[in-house]
Amino acid sequence: MELLTSKISPSHQQKLPPPPTIEEIKQIAKTQNATLVQYSIIYDDFKVENKIKTKESKLYIWAIKPTGEIIFRTADLKPLWQEQNTSLEKLVYENLKSLGVAIDTTRSANNQQSFAIGDLVRPNDAFPKDPAWKVVAVNPQNRTLKIWLTTWKDTEEPIEIKFAQVTKVSSPQAAYINLQQLHKILIDPIADLLPKDPNARVTFIPQGSLFFVPFPALQDADRKYLIQKHTILTAPAIQVLDLTRKQRQKLPITVKDALIIGNPTMPKVSKIPGAVAEQLPPLPDAEIEAKQVAQLFKTQPIIGNQATKSTILKELPKARIVHFATHGLLDDFTGGGVPGAVALAPEALNKGKEEGNNGLLTASEIFDLKPNAELVVLSACNTGVGRITGDGVIGLSRSLISAGVSSVIVSLWSIPDAPTASLMTEFYQRLQQGNDKASALRQAMLKTMEKHPDPQNWAAFTLIGESN
């Protein structure tokens, strides 16, 4: 919440509720009928290689039960950089990479290749089809690894090699290792506090890069996914949950329509400030998705040149459910202060003018809208354009919630078209059958998992805000 407050204009800041008291937090957990899990990464100064450096020290975790009980736990983060030459933030990014997600971390301070025990690597002089090697030891001071070929017998000794001589390999095995390590850090300390009933709700309130953790896919020691044990939501801040509940109660009864947008004629965007703007690639699969979703609601999707910002802004107040199957951008492309934007068709393309709006519906602009939607879905959200931090996810979802939307579903990465269509169709069908949003999304993930077991295909979507 403070992250957003520092980035937005005074008029927008007035819309943010003040931090809740302990009693209010207890009441929110009770009203939501959910176990709330709040994370906070604590940094300290440490002497490293005779220099004082700021490093991750501890992870603070608060679990707030619906009964009002608040339990505090901690996890030690120092071994990550002391023994494994990594950090929690790096683990989150490495997890995305191991899932096959293309991300841009070129502006991150942590973009150097790092290694941890259990990583799979391939020597730079090896052929692409050669088997991967497993990292069994890391020496960050000398920047060397000890690697072992998985086909070797136990009697074989690992070989030593320099960081620069190998490249990390993305693989299902690496993905599972990362998902299990994140589970060990984020979930294990509070696992005994989570509800035993898989239908009971758990709402995670992450911090920073933890917004990019696919909580449903975190895997315990028995290789069971978290979504198989719990119904999962997220929120940018605890007080947002109180805000979304109040907004849901204010929804006009007359608002019933669904607004479905897919594959607009794409706008041009500069990947780097000052650079020549390039048109975002079209999303033909998103158009198919939009048509399938629209069919469920017996309506027509708005696609191509028709999906301009002015058209969408005109239709938004009439819709109870809004589905964007288009690019989502995670940077502050317009200098508006709050990162995040949804790609729509530029106005000039329709009106034959050289000037017109650029087709980007920004998070800052969303603040000023008055939508009546109880659910907005941002599908195919991450284009890889922009910084991969929690800011963009907060920018889009928090702006929608502040504008009056009670629930937002965002995808942390672009899912292949077949599983996306399957998951979204299943989700909306469950919703139409009377399931709440969190339950419908969980059931859709479990169903999609049967045909598409790789977490990349089903774990990207996260529900932010209200479940009902």
CB-based contact 15:400 (threshold 8 Å): no
Q: State residue 332's pLDDT score.
A: 58
| Residue in this structure with the two tokens 């799979």, named with its chain if needed | 120
Q: State residue 256's pLDDT score.
A: 60
91 belongs to a structural domain? no
d(CA 61, CA 206): 10
**In a shared domain, residues 198 and 291:** no
CATH of the domain at 108: 2.30.30.30
**In a shared domain, residues 367 and 405:** yes
Concatenate the DSSP letters of all residues of 34-58 into one string.
Answer: EEEEEEEEEEEEEEETTEEEEEEEE
**In a shared domain, residues 180 and 168:** no
Q: State residue 334's pLDDT score.
A: 53
**In a shared domain, residues 221 and 201:** yes
Q: State residue 131's pLDDT score.
A: 76
| End position of a domain, from candidates 115, 144, 172 | 172
| End position of a domain, from candidates 239, 272, 287 | 239
**In a shared domain, residues 111 and 64:** no
Q: Which domain holds residue 19?
A: 2-84+175-239
Q: State residue 161's pLDDT score.
A: 92
**In a shared domain, residues 312 and 277:** yes
**In a shared domain, residues 57 and 183:** yes
**In a shared domain, residues 122 and 48:** no
**In a shared domain, residues 309 and 394:** yes
d(CA 337, CA 340): 10
Q: Identify which of 468, 317, 310, 330 has the alpha carbon closest to the alpha carbon of residue 386.
A: 330
Residues of the chain with pLDDT under 50: 1-14, 104-111, 253-255, 349, 353-355, 383-390
